[in-house]
Structure 1
């Protein structure tokens, strides 16, 4: 039998050996951290993406830190083993491998900085100015006359309120789902809508419902404000409120890891099928100025996806170019179209966009509208642009006009006692006359009035509680041809007057009649005999589908002399601008 002596120092050394940590395990932790970061932030793997370079920098820093920890362990051991000798460690004496860390970083930074400078507006100003090329046209002859009944005056804020209120009334849905705040403006069969999917009302509601998917989306009519709950053929299984691989951003990134794209938008085709669309981007000048180079379309029900070239995009897609990109390129065009030095010193012809924009639906496309003003004066616009958000076709209409916020202030001033706030206006061609059209909302965000403001003389303001009355008021000062009323579409209501009350609203007298328990608001201008009607007498009203009263028949009270069937003059030559105005 051999007995080996074990000293206390040997025991301590063995314990230290067992407890020592292998720094190579840090690479395993780094790999996990890299995966988690990529899974959560989803950076594209593309040389022109700053997210990519930041992602690589984090990996680089992690490797550098691990190598430094490994070497520092060895340095500490040397210090302990040579406790009686001075040990000096200098940065310049670091192992040669560290050169492979800092020299590539320096080289990449130099290439990036030099590249951004060479491809900057200082050398390429006119190229920056030509990223978008507005074509000048005459307003009166070429600006499209928009159907006044098709102007989308229900803005995003109002659409959100209407959508949330509508879902709140559906108890079977509100317990499990909420309304997503996407509300994308699109055209469906040439009609303007905002659409948004429902979303799971929290993690536990997702756990309860993710196997069935999201059953509905909301569709808000941008003209009437009518909200509909739409049910597609199959439930929506890919959305922002889904998790893991069914999250729409993650689904796109894992299928297109090398593409640069922004947050996808919810859209609906003409058959009501829900999709998410994401525009992919390249760069115009090395690392500068993103430019769309394709479109990725994802079926929100099945997850099927396809990437289209710019000349192959489906016709139902309305939004390829983002509003922010268009506004930026318009500013670049106005700033650099006459060269870099002109933009700094003389500033001759230098322009910029207004501080706001709006959307105008025309010909089954969505157009971005904004004003153009000179940088030396922002009190008025020198023109307007319309940009097709699917094709980037851009038209400039040179027209001296009031700046949009001046028109908004003028409209608010007309009802200042009520404290209404104006929405950003739209420019319309009202039978050859350029007019701003906007809504006035109360403190709760509800539309209370509609307003027309003369573009060239913003002190001329017309305000009414509905669109028909607004056009009638405008017609009092301007020749407006209205189409004759289709009498067959009007409903006739007759009855004895139970109660009658006169009220003055915005300088106009209205009579409130109660017939069979229902209240009807009748403008005094419809019939000059209205002030003489008494309770118990019989009257007849003609009402359209929107409950607007078109005529008052008082012949049973005052005879034929009081019969006034309609107050809107007919014309054999109806203007398509005002089709269906009644």
Structure 2
């Protein structure tokens, strides 16, 4: 009975307003009535003949009570009526209106200018490989634990992937009842920054046993009568591990689930608390399940002109992929939207706040994410690299896709920018700054009447180097320097831009061409060390 209860509590809640719970109650009531009727109408007789035991059922002539049939009929009838009544046929407005009306956004005002040092170059696939490699550096640890699914998040202002450790089996759990040891942090912006943190234990985890199992613990101790979904491993700004589980309710019968808040469980201590959307801790990045958001956007586009819109007038749908992005410190789900029937052009892009569910649409027509991937791959087709799923960034006022280019082993090889409005405008490079410089050159060469480029005209300045330093990462070497006559400007230059960068020192006279984004950050597009020439 304990294991039966464990299975049931892992998969359903005890509130009959949820479809899985209602179905379960119908089955339980029907089974109970069936057993009652069998007992009332007769009984089982056990007999032994020649050493063999036989069980036979003998009726006593009683009929099935009508009230039992009525009760069972009421249960199943109510379930079927609510299920049918929950469909779009009976309330198309509920399906269309679950996602609030889009706010018309202004791309340049809402999306911050790209900072090449903060672009997420590590995707989920690479995060898994890097985390596994870090775990494999400790053979004794690798035999005790396995890694869970990495989750991208902002921790104390740093964008990272975090993967918890799990017990590798029953006996490992028995010998480590205090929990598996630690988690792995992979920087989303620097593939060389991978850290194993062993100062915390993960006691509550998926696949554990008895009360340490996450889903059982959350259901039995945290929210027995509440819908739970989207289990996410997150850290607070001090590095303490938590499980953030979205709570939800159905807004139309058994359909249209809507996030209501979160159940947050301390993975070390099991301490738990339910939060509404308006009182979540500040470190919680998201509580809106991605599949909820995508389904609501699709419903809004599918039923924009009602249920019987056979001509598909004004219909739209989301792109076949989506991605989590951070802008100005907030977490958003980003996806393109295309007209129904069109698969090569986007009519705009939607960013949805993953806490408040506030949607913003940017009506920028252009290439879809898949088209941008193909364009970037075509630029390096001689190498056979494939592109990661792109994110949209603001390059000097121009909506642009950014993606990484990887080889068949999943290793980062190059980086690419593709214009949203014209996917033939591509810039690639072996470092992020180099790719951006090449992309900006391509933009200036392909300016069209409907393209808005803010402050992309290259400026020139000469001066003496006050400070200079090199930053090394897997995305390439980048030099940063300040000029004595421009102390308010921080210049950034890719090492591949000029061989003279490597020999430049404080006190050298230089001349640079650069693009100023207006925030004091300058991308160098041309570099000349005058002191070297004089020698």
Q: How would you bin the TM-score normalised by the shorter chain? A: 0.7 to 0.9
Do residues 217 (structure 1) and 183 (structure 2) align? yes
CA distance in structure 1 between the partners assigned to 2:201 and 2:45 by the alignment:
62
Whether contact under 8 Å (1:132, 1:330) holds in the other structure is yes
Residues 452 and 385 of structure 1: CA distance in aligned 2, closer, same or farther (over 3 Å) = same
CA distance in structure 1 between the partners assigned to 2:107 and 2:95 by the alignment:
27
1:421-469 deviation line (CA, Å, top 9, x unaligned):
1111111111111111111111111121111111111112211111011
Residues 399 and 551 of structure 1: CA distance in aligned 2, closer, same or farther (over 3 Å) = closer
Q: Name the SS of the counterpart of 1:334 in structure 2.
A: helix
Q: Which runs of 5+ in 2 are unaligned?
A: 47-57, 445-455, 479-490, 526-535
- TM-score, structure 2 normalization: 0.80
Q: Name the SS of the counterpart of 1:488 in structure 2.
A: strand
CA distance in structure 1 between the partners assigned to 2:269 and 2:151 by the alignment:
20
CA distance in structure 2 between the partners assigned to 1:456 and 1:250 by the alignment:
49
Q: What does residue 453 of structure 2 align with?
A: none
Q: Name the SS of the counterpart of 2:13 in structure 1.
A: coil
Whether contact under 8 Å (1:126, 1:338) holds in the other structure is no
- How many residues align? The count is 479
Whether contact under 8 Å (1:128, 1:332) holds in the other structure is yes
Distance apart, 1:577 and its partner CA: 8.9
Q: What does residue 231 of structure 2 align with?
A: 264
Distance apart, 1:290 and its partner CA: 0.6
Q: What does residue 339 of structure 2 align with?
A: 374
CA distance in structure 1 between the partners assigned to 2:328 and 2:176 by the alignment:
39
Q: What does residue 176 of structure 1 align with?
A: 144
Q: Name the SS of the counterpart of 1:301 in structure 2.
A: coil
Whether contact under 8 Å (1:130, 1:337) holds in the other structure is no
Residues 371-520 of structure 1 aligned to structure 2 (within 5 Å) = 371-477=336-442, 478=444, 479=456, 488-490=467-469
Residues 301 and 400 of structure 1: CA distance in aligned 2, closer, same or farther (over 3 Å) = same
Residues 109 and 241 of structure 1: CA distance in aligned 2, closer, same or farther (over 3 Å) = closer
Q: Name the SS of the counterpart of 1:262 in structure 2.
A: strand
What root-mean-square deviation, in Å, do the aligned CA atoms of Structure 1 and Structure 2 show? 3.5
Question: Max radius of gyration: which structure?
Answer: 1
Residues 471 and 580 of structure 1: CA distance in aligned 2, closer, same or farther (over 3 Å) = closer
Q: 1:350 aligns with which of 308, 315, 330?
A: 315
Do residues 38 (structure 1) and 8 (structure 2) align? yes
Q: What does residue 253 of structure 2 align with?
A: 286
Q: Name the SS of the counterpart of 2:220 in structure 1.
A: helix
Q: Which runs of 5+ in 1 are unaligned?
A: 1-30, 78-87, 493-520, 524-543, 557-562
Q: 2:117 aligns with which of 149, 170, 188?
A: 149
Q: Name the SS of the counterpart of 1:60 in structure 2.
A: helix
- TM-score, structure 1 normalization: 0.74
Do residues 325 (structure 1) and 292 (structure 2) align? yes
Q: What does residue 497 of structure 1 align with?
A: none
Whether contact under 8 Å (1:210, 1:242) holds in the other structure is no
Q: Name the SS of the counterpart of 2:211 in structure 1.
A: helix
CA distance in structure 1 between the partners assigned to 2:242 and 2:87 by the alignment:
37
Bigger share in strand:
2
Whether contact under 8 Å (2:41, 2:59) holds in the other structure is no
CA distance in structure 2 between the partners assigned to 1:357 and 1:395 by the alignment:
15
Whether contact under 8 Å (2:465, 2:510) holds in the other structure is no
Q: What does residue 50 of structure 2 align with?
A: none
Q: What does residue 81 of structure 2 align with?
A: 114
